[in-house]
Homo-oligomer: A and B are copies of this chain.
Amino acid sequence: MSKSQLDLTPTESLACCSPLTREPLSAESATRIAPLLKALADPVRLRLLSMVASHVDGEACVCDLNDAFDLSQPTISHHLKQLHEAGLLHREKRGVWVYYRLQTEALRDLSALLGGVAETR
């Protein structure tokens, strides 16, 4: 089954959008972008993303992340899943461990959307 325009992930469809302040966002764009922001709009997930992104080698094992919070392991797993499904974190299983890594384009595109910074090729 090939990938039609309707199946584009939020991240994929973001690159083509004008900055928020340039012209009114279409309803469709807003609907595609909002989930990305929603994934980011939680203190725990913000910290998780930041911890992963700033970790050595650019990746972090779940075991590293669990201990940084006073939350149960399933809760952290749940938040990581949301970040992953939003397209913000890449996930890789190696042995018993799972490593997460920042999906850098996603964050870069989001920043461009908000800040109006043009292409940084």
Contact = CB atoms under 8 A, between A and B. Distances in A.
Contacts of A25: 46-47, 50-51
A75 to B, nearest CB: 15
Identical subunits present:
2
A20 interface: yes
Interface residues of A, number: 38
Contact of A42 (B34, B115, B116): B34
A116 B49 CA distance: 14
A16 interface: no
B38 A41 contact: yes
B21 A53 contact: yes
Majority DSSP secondary structure for residues of A touching B: helix
Interface in A37-55: 37-38, 40-44, 46-47, 49-51, 53-54
A24 B40 contact: no
Given A24-B50, A25-B50, A54-B22, A40 B37 contact: yes
Given A24-B47, A27-B47, A43-B27, A111 B107 contact: no
